[in-house]
Amino acid sequence: MAARTLRIGLIPGDGIGREVIPAGQRILEALPSSLGLKFTFSHHQAGWATFEKTGAALPPHTVEALKSECDGALFGAVSSPTVQTKGYSSPIVALRKKMGLYANVRPVKSIRSTTTRPIDLVIVRENTEDLYVKKEHTYTAPDGTKVAEAIKRISETASWNIATMAGDIALRRQRVRDTGTGSTQSIHTSPLVTITHKSNVLSQTDGLFRETARRALSDPMYQIVAVEEQIVDSMVYKLFRQPQDYDVIVAPNLYGDILSDGAAALVGSLGLVPSANVGKEFVIGEPCHGSAPDIEGQGIANPIATIRSAALMLEFMGEEVAAARIYEAVDANLEEGALLAPDMGGKTGTEEIVEDICRRL
C-alpha cells in the first residue's frame, strides 16, 4: 500500500511558539515508516510580530495557503497587546472562524508522575460564537460615565454541532475502553457527556444551548451515552473536587475556555495540555499554553502540549494508530519522570525532551 502524504502547515506565531512548533514537526517526522505516513511541511505567518511587520495579525495569504495547500496545521502561540490596539484582533480566533473550525477539543489526562489523582477527560468547547463574536461597543450613560456592552451570541446550529461532536468523542472513547487499548481512568463504564451552561440566569442564550444539546444527544446513535448537566459555577467546583467523575464536558465558548485552562492545573501544567480546532474539513493542533515571553529563547519551553496536539491533529485526520504511537511515547516519557521541563519542577530543556520522545517512537 502506498504511503499517505499529509501536507501540514506550520504557524509558529510568537514567543515559544517558534520553539515548540519545530518540535511538533520533528515528532511527526520521527513516526515509523511502517505506519504508512509521509509529511510535507509549509511555513506560514500569524501573530503579534506579524502584525507589527505587516499590519495584519492574520495575513490573507496564510488563510488562502491553508485552504489550498494543506490537509491540517499546527499553530503555536500568539502574544497580544495589553491595551486596545487599532486594527489588531486575535489571529487564532479569526482563523477558527475563517476555516470553519467550530470545535475546540481539549483532552486533560493525568500521569502518575504528574498527579496522584486519575484524570482522563475531554472538554469540548464551542469555538465560533458566545462572547467571542467580539461585538462590543462603549457609550456614555446619562450620568456621564462610560458603559461597555458585549453581545453574547448562541445559535441552534452551533450548539447542535458542538453537542454532536461531544457525543461522537464520547462514543470513540468508549470504543477505546472496550478494546482495552487505551488508558481512560474515568470511573464510568459507559460514555458520559456533561452539558455545562448558566441557563438559570441566561435563560435565552444558555437556555438555547442547553435545550439544543439535549435534543442533539437524544438521537438514537447516542443511546448508550449518558447525559447530565452542570451549572458552570458548580461545574468549576466539582471539576476541581472530583475530576475523575467526568468523561466528556461540552460547553459554550467562554465557559469551555475557562474550564479547560483551569483543568490543566489538575495535571501539573498548561505545558502538557493539547487542543485541536476541528471543523468538518480541516483541523489545527494548538497547545493550550501562551507565548510565554518570559522564557522565550531559553530552550526550556515544554514541548509536550504541542507534541500531543500533533497527535490530536492526526487523530481527527483519521490516523488514530499514528496518534496512539505519539501518545504512548509521551506517556512513557512522563511516567519515567526523569526528564521534566521546568514548568513541571524539572530542569530538562526542550531539545532533550524531544529527543527522548523521538527515541521512544
Q: What is the pLDDT of residue 266?
A: 86
The CATH number of whichever domain residue 347 belongs to comes to: 3.40.718.10
Q: What is the pLDDT of residue 1?
A: 64
pLDDT at position 311 over 60: yes
- Is there a domain that residue 43 lies in? yes
- Is there a domain that residue 42 lies in? yes
Take residue 53 and report the three cell numbers written for it.
Answer: 511587520
pLDDT at position 269 over 90: no
Helical spans, DSSP H, in 99-231:
156-179, 205-217
Q: Which regions of the chain does DSSP assign to beta strands (E)?
A: 4-13, 37-43, 72-77, 103-109, 120-126, 136-140, 146-150, 192-197, 226-231, 248-251, 276-278, 283-285
Residues 6+ apart with CB under 8 A from 289: 16, 77, 270, 271, 273, 302, 305
Domain span holding position 301: 4-114+268-360
> pLDDT tens digits for 270-288?
889 999 999 999 999 999 8
Q: What is the pLDDT of residue 212?
A: 98
> pLDDT tens digits for 233-245?
999 999 999 998 9
- Is there a domain that residue 28 lies in? yes
- Is there a domain that residue 24 lies in? yes
Confidence of residue 184 (pLDDT cuts 50, 70, 90): very low
Average pLDDT over every residue of 318-327: 92
**How many domains is the chain partitioned into structurally?**
1
Confidence of residue 186 (pLDDT cuts 50, 70, 90): very low
Confidence of residue 87 (pLDDT cuts 50, 70, 90): confident
- Is there a domain that residue 156 lies in? no
pLDDT at position 182 over 70: no
Cβ contact 154:128 at 8 Å:
no
Q: What is the pLDDT of residue 113?
A: 56
Average pLDDT over every residue of 158-174: 95
Cβ count within 10 A of residue 86: 4
Range name among 42-46, 83-87, 104-108, 182-186 with the lowest pLDDT average: 182-186
Share of the chain above pLDDT 90, in %: 77
Cβ contact 313:37 at 8 Å:
no
Name residue, grid cell 521546568.
Answer: 342
Average pLDDT over every residue of 300-329: 94
Residues 6+ apart with CB under 8 A from 78: 13, 14, 17, 46, 47, 48, 57, 90, 91, 92, 290, 291
- Is there a domain that residue 233 lies in? no
> pLDDT tens digits for 216-264?
999 999 999 999 999 999 999 999 999 989 999 999 999 999 998 888 8
> pLDDT tens digits for 53-82?
999 999 999 999 999 999 999 999 999 887
- Is there a domain that residue 147 lies in? no
Take residue 49 and report the three cell numbers written for it.
Answer: 510580530
Q: What is the pLDDT of residue 125?
A: 96
Q: What is the pLDDT of residue 251?
A: 97
Confidence of residue 180 (pLDDT cuts 50, 70, 90): low
What is the value of pTM for the model shown? 0.89
| Of 345 and 115, more confident | 345
Cβ count within 10 A of residue 172: 16
Q: What is the pLDDT of residue 110?
A: 84
Average pLDDT, the chain: 92
Q: What is the pLDDT of residue 25?
A: 98
- Is there a domain that residue 351 lies in? yes
